[in-house]
Structure 1
């Protein structure tokens, strides 16, 4: 037996058991932030010391080492609090938390990280698809995969079993944006609405709902006809808050001439409201506000959009679908895809090409007309 070696404080100790094996115990951090004692064994002193040194190394690097494999009901809330909440947007955290609370913990919470298998994940996805929809199951798949990827990085598990299970296939939602005539009908019908200028910006520039409501007057230069998108207004649960854009980048967009008059009208109207509100006015600097200067609720602009659309007898679409329509009009006008991508604020051109363009029947007919003219240039022998 080698001579007993004294380890520094916190590095644990090694001793020989009655059965001849060697045992070491070291206090290590747990995923929940506490510290517990971890025991390792070895048939020789050297083998046991190697395991002990690995525990000490992980401790010094603040890497959690569970004394037992954590259950998903323990790991998922910890992952949300320590990994998602500090790094991701509030909307992302709220969406992930919903999937963890509604589906992942009820269906998989009793499973331990190391024992979670492919069949467990498949059953979970089938259950979520039955309870909600395949699209919801696909999102749960993504949330669980992200959570287990973090567990792999923390060296709590050796593999991510979710990566072995394909995500459910989801049929893309059929998009039917308004035609040009329908778009003009809506703009005419909304002309007297307090949010008319907001609708003009959403339709002509393809701004997201939150981006429209996040605009401040300092972001708009009417003289040089430019608009800069820097922020967005969002509501998550009971909190109305301002955040940066979806891809965290500001973008500057030239203003079409048809946007100038509505924005000037909006500024005059807001000044009148400020006078009426007096000391009750809140100086937020936003372009679109309530009668007391507060930011507009995102849901309220959607309600107004739907109400005006219905009254005008237009096909029912979401306000966000006006963004699809903007992309379609830009493409139909011959605007290059890269420029459309910058206007809409996408991080990848594939999103612009695959999701936000809708080819109308007239556009398809025009394209085939080009083919017809090209092929008729040479007369075929009779």
Structure 2
């Protein structure tokens, strides 16, 4: 009885001159094209089982490469199909940089299935020597993530990057200002047009993008609250509004030291709007240029550093003011969970391990407490 012909797209099977059976099926490739893949079997049933597996993967939309892709082929595909649709633009830009500058130059000629543990180890050493341990650690993480996606797509059976430890990075000593230095900075910043932005950075620990993405509709003067729901970011040549880092909205009570600067900023902006006239671009942002355009993130950092240098203060980054805010909150006895909510962290471990720094005054006070305890406990002679 003759076997039934397979439907279109299901491939075909025939017997070879050497007695084995051969089947060919058009299957999708990781780059979106379709190519013909050949499988063999000692019997018709064995060959048909392999054919059905290919057809099943095709119907599920799973790519089946006719040959193992090189990393130079897989990594750009992974960026476009996996990272760009699902992750933030900042994440895509960071991953793309590591792929372009380090992964493809060092590992691009390697095929997914042939990439070995020694290959990854040599890559980590090379990038560490070429750039830094921190860069090598980040490139290793990008490679590990890309290979994990290849495993889920069943293109490879194991992720060799997980078998190679990332380089150890020395923790950068965090620098923050003392309370007196912070007050001195705010006094020096009063004449600056971005004074209100600096107050929010110091008092609320807002991220740079959150400060610049703040709109007047996010501020409730009657309830004295500020809602953080957006951030302004520049990625390559694009300045755009995005959700917060962890995609969460948070409401922060406004301390009195923020109310007057915000009201002053609103008056200042109204004067700028009147002076600009038809050139004004209305966007409801709190911090704008003289024509209503959003402030460039780098310009805010430059202004912060310029004011600090003019006040002869130790040089720190604008983001370090966020660390200082967390330290001041803890010194004031604020509960860790509350500090976490104010700063907008997704995990309390980040708040406790990264964003709190014990000042010299706090350490000295702790030791003085020990003096008082031991002195009180000292037995009489």
| TM-score, length of structure 1 as denominator length | 0.98
The aligned residue for residue 138 of structure 2 is: 139
Post-superposition CA distance 1:172-231 (Å, at most 9, x none): 110110011110010000000000000000000000000000000000011211000000
Secondary structure of 1:115 counterpart: coil
Where does 1:20-31 land on structure 2 (aligned, <5 Å)?
20-31=19-30
Report the alpha carbon displacement of residue 76 of structure 1 after superposing the two structures with TM. Answer: 0.2
The aligned residue for residue 122 of structure 2 is: 123
Separation in structure 2 between the aligned mates of residue 325 and residue 4 of structure 1, nearest angstrom: 77
The aligned residue for residue 222 of structure 2 is: 223
Post-superposition CA distance 1:132-158 (Å, at most 9, x none): 110000000110111011111111111
Deviates more, 1:369-378 or 1:79-88: 369-378
Secondary structure of 1:235 counterpart: strand
Separation in structure 1 between the aligned mates of residue 376 and residue 354 of structure 2, nearest angstrom: 36
Report the alpha carbon displacement of residue 42 of structure 1 after superposing the two structures with TM. Answer: 1.1
The aligned residue for residue 148 of structure 1 is: 147
Name the count of aligned residue pairs: 381
The aligned residue for residue 291 of structure 1 is: 290
The aligned residue for residue 349 of structure 1 is: 348
5+ residue gaps, structure 1: none
The aligned residue for residue 364 of structure 2 is: 365
The aligned residue for residue 244 of structure 1 is: 243
Separation in structure 1 between the aligned mates of residue 3 and residue 374 of structure 2, nearest angstrom: 92
Separation in structure 2 between the aligned mates of residue 47 and residue 14 of structure 1, nearest angstrom: 11
Where does 1:44-193 land on structure 2 (aligned, <5 Å)?
44-193=43-192
The aligned residue for residue 321 of structure 2 is: 322
The aligned residue for residue 309 of structure 1 is: 308
Report the alpha carbon displacement of residue 369 of structure 1 after superposing the two structures with TM. Answer: 2.8
Secondary structure of 1:171 counterpart: coil
Separation in structure 2 between the aligned mates of residue 376 and residue 271 of structure 1, nearest angstrom: 62
| 1:9 partnered with 2:22 | no
The aligned residue for residue 42 of structure 2 is: 43
5+ residue gaps, structure 2: none
Secondary structure of 1:243 counterpart: strand
Secondary structure of 2:277 counterpart: helix
Separation in structure 1 between the aligned mates of residue 53 and residue 273 of structure 2, nearest angstrom: 66
Separation in structure 1 between the aligned mates of residue 4 and residue 119 of structure 2, nearest angstrom: 46
Separation in structure 1 between the aligned mates of residue 2 and residue 357 of structure 2, nearest angstrom: 78
Separation in structure 2 between the aligned mates of residue 300 and residue 106 of structure 1, nearest angstrom: 34
Report the alpha carbon displacement of residue 320 of structure 1 after superposing the two structures with TM. Answer: 0.3
Report the alpha carbon displacement of residue 365 of structure 1 after superposing the two structures with TM. Answer: 1.9
Report the alpha carbon displacement of residue 376 of structure 1 after superposing the two structures with TM. Answer: 4.0
The aligned residue for residue 266 of structure 2 is: 267
Report the alpha carbon displacement of residue 3 of structure 1 after superposing the two structures with TM. Answer: 4.6
Separation in structure 1 between the aligned mates of residue 268 and residue 141 of structure 2, nearest angstrom: 46
Separation in structure 2 between the aligned mates of residue 282 and residue 204 of structure 1, nearest angstrom: 29
| TM-score, length of structure 2 as denominator length | 0.98
